[in-house]
């Protein structure tokens, strides 16, 4: 009798596992992307992330903050320093993939929504962050006392996000 109970319990667990596997497969087939399909949509290498210099010029940054600046740094992260020397005034980071998604999650909780900038954008005290497609752009303000122009960061973010190339697959969603 105990053997029959053990066998029927084992068969019940197997049937339940099979039902869950089939239900999960139908759910994915109905429109939810699988883990492999979801990961393909994000850039895999640094070559897929646009360079900061391609998203905004030194002149545009100077116009947004009111100080003539020069860019220093690499393609994914650039600091803008005053032309006449001094500490950085603006830090720009371009992220994608897991780092971009983590930055969006962290800043979304703390920031205010910015309309008409990319797919979604947020602003906080001394920073603005936005996303277009899978590319995230983060602008961080440093030493705001040396900024003659206040309020130029949202415009600069919108300009940068408008220059992010969108894959053709995203155009026809």
* Per-residue model confidence (pLDDT) at position 162: 92
Do 94 and 51 touch, CB atoms closer than 8 A? Answer: yes
Q: Which residues, given as ranges, of the chain have pLDDT below 70?
A: 1-47, 167-173
Instruction: Give the DSSP H or E segment for 56.
Output: none
Q: What is the length of the chain? A: 173
For 129-166, how does the pLDDT look when each residue is reduced to its tens digit (9 = 90+)? 999 988 999 999 998 888 888 788 999 999 999 999 87
Ramachandran class of 143: left when φ > 0, alpha when ψ lies in -120 to 50, beta otherwise: left
* Per-residue model confidence (pLDDT) at position 3: 62
């Amino acid at each position: 009798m105990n053997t029959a109970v053990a066998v029927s319990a084992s068969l019940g667990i197997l049937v339940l596992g099979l039902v869950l596997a089939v239900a999960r497969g139908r759910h994915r087939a109905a429109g939810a992307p699988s883990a492999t399909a979801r990961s393909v949509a994000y850039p895999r290498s640094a070559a897929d992330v646009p360079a900061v210099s391609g998203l905004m010029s030194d002149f545009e940054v100077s116009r947004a903050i009111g100080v003539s600046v020069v860019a220093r740094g690499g393609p994914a992260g650039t600091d803008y320093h005053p032309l006449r020397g001094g500490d950085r005034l603006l830090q720009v980071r371009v992220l994608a993939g897991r780092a971009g998604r983590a930055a969006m999650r962290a800043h979304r909780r703390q920031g205010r929504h910015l309309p008409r900038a990319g797919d979604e954008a947020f602003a906080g005290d001394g920073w603005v962050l936005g996303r277009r497609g899978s590319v995230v752009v983060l602008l961080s303000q440093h030493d705001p006392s040396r900024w003659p122009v206040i309020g130029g960061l949202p415009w600069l973010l919108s300009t940068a996000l408008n220059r992010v190339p969108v894959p053709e697959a995203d155009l026809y969603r």
